[in-house]
């Protein structure tokens, strides 16, 4: 197994261990995908047909509310990305996904995933475990936005994703944390001092 295969297998094993034979079945269905910086993976209104495992790079998920860009997530290496709701529902995506830096990823089509479900029930269980983890994460983010102060949200983000503070433009992090950019600018120095 090469490094990329091992990284993906390790990711899947966190949710449900897969045998080498099961992994090889999946690997045969995957396709590489590359994005240049600022290139789009998905536009708002398109229907998602693939899910992607991020090998390297960083993808930004957002939508527009009027003329304002609203950041909803960032996907660094080691995460699954794509228009998940669109992929699952077959409806147009609410979100745009765009590379913030060059990206390498591995793609699985909806058709291939559905085929896996019919061949081995373990893939259905693994997908269910991934979906549960995703839903719990989304619920926690919603509650954090409601319950935590701006300062607490920033501290939590900076501790959980320190590498993103260096890679993601400040205005996009502020949008993600639901903090006005000028307030975000004032928070940064305060946190360095204590």
Q: What are the structural domains of the chain? A: 3-119 (2.60.120.10)
**How far does the chain reach from its first CA to its final CA, in angstroms?**
46
119-152, pLDDT tens digit by residue? 999 999 999 999 999 899 989 988 988 899 988 9
Report field, pTM of the whole predicted structure over 0.85: yes
Q: Say if residues 70 and 62 touch (Cβ distance below 8 Å).
A: yes
Kindly indicate the confidence band of residue 186, based on its pLDDT and cuts at 50, 70 and 90: confident
The label of the residue with tokens 């089509």 reads 109
Q: Say if residues 83 and 48 touch (Cβ distance below 8 Å).
A: yes
- pLDDT of 192 reads 61
């Amino acid at each position: 197994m090469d490094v990329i295969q091992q990284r993906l297998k390790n990711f899947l094993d966190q949710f449900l261990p897969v045998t080498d034979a099961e992994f090889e079945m999946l690997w045969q269905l995957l396709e590489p995908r590359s994005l240049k910086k600022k290139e789009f993976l998905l536009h708002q209104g398109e229907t998602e047909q693939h899910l992607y495992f991020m090998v390297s790079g960083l993808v930004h998920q957002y939508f527009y509310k009027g003329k304002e860009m609203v950041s909803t997530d960032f996907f660094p290496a080691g995460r699954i990305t794509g228009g998940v709701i669109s992929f699952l529902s077959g409806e147009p995506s609410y979100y745009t996904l765009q590379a913030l830096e060059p990206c390498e990823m591995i793609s699985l089509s909806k058709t291939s995933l559905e085929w896996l479900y019919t061949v081995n029930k373990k893939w259905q269980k693994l997908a269910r475990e991934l979906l549960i983890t995703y839903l719990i994460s989304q619920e926690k983010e919603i509650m954090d936005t409601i319950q935590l102060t701006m300062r607490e949200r920033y501290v939590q983000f900076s501790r959980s994703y320190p590498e993103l503070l260096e890679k993601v433009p400040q205005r996009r992090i502020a949008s993600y944390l639901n903090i006005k950019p000028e307030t975000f600018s004032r928070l940064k120095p305060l946190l360095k001092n204590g």
